[in-house]
Structure 1
Amino acid sequence: MQYTGQNHDVGEMRCISADLDDGILTVALNRPEQRNLLDVAMTLEMVSLLQAVHFDTQVRVVVLRGAGAGFCAGLDIADFQDAGRHGEAALRAARDAANDWRARRLRLLPQPVLAMVHGFCEGGALAILAGCDIVLAAEDAHFALSAADAGALTEGPLARSLCGVMLPRAASYHALTGAAFDGREAERNGLATHSLPAAELEAQTYALARELAAKDEIALRLTKETLLHVADMSWDGALSFTAAKFAELKALQAGRQSPRAGAIESFLAGKTKPGLGG
């Protein structure tokens, strides 16, 4: 079913597509003839979509993918510099928006976000992956950073993303050399969660999405919030923060059957026996 938003109208979408099915929202970067390059129009559509999704309780999980032969070939630099078409003020706003949705809006969605990467994923597209919670990549996917080869700088959300998810030595090597790598290496260097045979990628991604959609959405949301913050805290701060989050979880779950309570009830009734294959 085409997604239209619950409390926020997403407007007409030409550069992305969004379909909601049983709580799973599939968002596809949809400029296959242009290798799904992120241009000004796609940027504005994505900002509007993420704003709607953030507050939509119908959406339990987001799957982000590319249409056609690959995921995304990065930023459409020419479009972001075309003042004759867009105007200088609009371009400045679009550049800020492109940074904002990749570095902040995607990362702060309350729902789990899965990226499904096939074909190519290049340049600024790697920053998109850093905003996702889980990244599944085809073993033969092609990842590349081209800034060094073009005499440019790895900057903005891309630079921060590489430092945040990739092993430091791998981030330095690929940013400095521009050397391409595949899905297996993306898993080894931390950019991808898992790499899979291309023929299995879609089925495995949606199996995982369905598994997440069946879990307690409050627990998932607070888990995301916790993991976003505790890495930069002291041990004592992290313990206090997680204790407060656990209290918040119990307060929000009050009055309804939680998976944990259901599991305890099932155990006490003798229906399940954890550790014994029951």
Structure 2
Amino acid sequence: MDYIEVTFTSSPDYTDILIAELGELGYDTFQETENGFQAYAPEDQFSEEALQEVVERYSFAGSFPYEVKRIAKQNWNEEWEKNFEPLFIANQVSVRADFHPKPEGVQYDVVITPKMSFGTGHHETTTLMIENQLTLSHVGKRVLDMGCGTGILAIMAEQLGARQVLGVDIEDWTVENAQENAERNHCQTLEVRLGDASVLAGEAPFDMILANINRNVLLEDMPGYSNLLQPQGPLVLSGFYTEDLPLLQEKAAACGLTFETSRSKNNWVSAIFRKNQ
């Protein structure tokens, strides 16, 4: 069966929402692009009318231009490979699909099949998070990854030596995808759980927390992150812009967290905070 490719131009603020909506319509693969994302559905699942209804539902937020293209079944793997290039981060980490050969000379190798989840490493926020992870000791640590997506950061945490990793996400299909990717990377300590911050009630403190979500969720959940973090434990955040950093710093300080450092790329930021004694 042929596939239908829909290329969207969208702002990051609405990309996750659109993907969730399209997932309900039978789209089963998504790929980030510089200006939005591409969505793929089997031809028998595609409906132009249903697609237009989704776009019109969010017209209050602006326009979401898209282009539709049919991809023949025999060319599907070629198309997917063309759109999912292997990625190398900080000369230490390889992020690739399982149809790419394992590269030589890298310390860490993460194999990801994104399906309907974000987190291939190609988006600036994921890359920045991994770069920050590489600066922190994970050995023997208990790590929480909030909004885990594909599970890439949680998988990275285990490869960096974490003794236990918990990934949490609000979408059931994302949890399923993260579990599949954990198995694909032979993870032994990674658990993936469905829900939001409320599913962490009663959890013992974590040695490190990773959260690549968005500004509003980070601000709302900051007190919870602080309560779940061991003294002197790092909180690594991303999913916000350079101009949002002062807001995160102010909220963190009010929650007993000290700003340590940040890095940025194309106006996206990842920052490290540390829990006070």
For the criterion TM > 0.5, the same-fold answer is: no
TM-score, normalised on structure 2? 0.29
Name the one with the larger helix percent: 1
Larger Rg: 1
TM-score, normalised on structure 1? 0.29
